[in-house]
Amino acid sequence: MALSFSSMGVFLSTFLFCFSLGAEARTSPVSSVVSEELFNSIFLHKDNAACPAKNFYTYDSFIMASRSFRRFGSCGSLTTRKREVAAFLAQISHETTGGWATAPDGPYAWGLCFKEEVSPQSDYCDSTNQQWPCFPGKTYKGRGPIQLSWNYNYGAAGKALGFDGLRNPDIVSNNSLIAFKTALWFWMTEQKPKPSCHNVMIGKYVAREADLAANRSAGYGLVTNIINGGLECGIPDDARVNNRIEYFKRYATLFNVDTGPNLDCAYQKSF
């Protein structure tokens, strides 16, 4: 689909802004968006004794991982940058939540509680994928902040980040820096026909004919569709989608930004 002149101008200004951060980009654009104090106020209970990931997900690891993905949290206006980081943190919070309805400080103060999927129902080996064949005895269950799953994701993430994801998938739940890098890799990487979560949150997503027919409008709901749309989208009032939204609402408030439109994917078809 062709961009209009005005849309092209927005696209170009956004694109250029990502690469004009100068000295700030040589440190970490993300650290200027989310301080350690804010990070800790977001994840009030991640180091609670009840959380299996206690002391695993550190602020330093998050910031160090972000330096490998310079465009994360660095594109567009300050509001856009904050909203993207808040959306990312909200999604990984849902994936790793330890909260419950009557939890201290509320259910949305318990993100980053788990580093491995609890009671996986599968070994997540797609034996038909010849590019990333499963290694004997290894399982590719959810691990890390984004709960990276399936052999094809472990293989591709490992190749991009410099570890052997097929032979050593456990490193994602044993190394905090690599764990955050896998989550950011998934966030930043386009996997056609899916756009990247990053491009959606910075306004770079352009709906194609198939997207329009599937009601895949830009917004946080489309990010949920990218991450787990096959199981969660196209279902009105789905509890999992609502949980993701409530995390985002809380974090957007802490970042002092609005959430933007299209928060859910209730009427979107999955990719």
Query: Both 132 and 239 in a single domain?
Result: no
pLDDT of 174-207, one tens digit each? Answer: 999 999 999 999 999 999 999 999 999 999 999 9
Q: Going by C-beta distance under 8 Å and a sequence separation of 6 or more, which residues neighbour residue 180? A: 57, 61, 62, 64, 65, 66, 144, 145
**In the prediction, which pLDDT does 15 show?**
43
**In the prediction, which pLDDT does 5 show?**
30
> Token pair of 189, please?
């990487």
**In the prediction, which pLDDT does 12 show?**
40
Query: Both 23 and 81 in a single domain?
Result: yes
37, 84, 95, 246: the catalytic one is 95
> Token pair of 123, please?
């070994």
Query: Both 139 and 14 in a single domain?
Result: no
Query: Both 211 and 163 in a single domain?
Result: no
Query: Both 231 and 248 in a single domain?
Result: yes
**In the prediction, which pLDDT does 254 show?**
98
**In the prediction, which pLDDT does 18 show?**
76
> Token pair of 237, please?
């009032």
Q: Is residue 154 part of a domain?
A: yes
Q: Is residue 185 part of a domain?
A: no
Give the count of domains, the chain: 2
Active site residue 24: no
Q: Is residue 184 part of a domain?
A: no
Query: Both 219 and 195 in a single domain?
Result: yes
- The closest of 131, 121, 170, 119 to 148, measured between CA atoms, is 170
Query: Both 195 and 95 in a single domain?
Result: yes
Cα separation of 266 and 75, whole Å? Answer: 28
Cα separation of 231 and 212, whole Å? Answer: 20
Q: pLDDT under 70 in the chain at which residues?
A: 1-17, 19-27
Q: For the whole model, what pTM was predicted? A: 0.91
Query: Both 147 and 83 in a single domain?
Result: no
* CATH number of the domain residue 211 falls in: 1.10.530.10
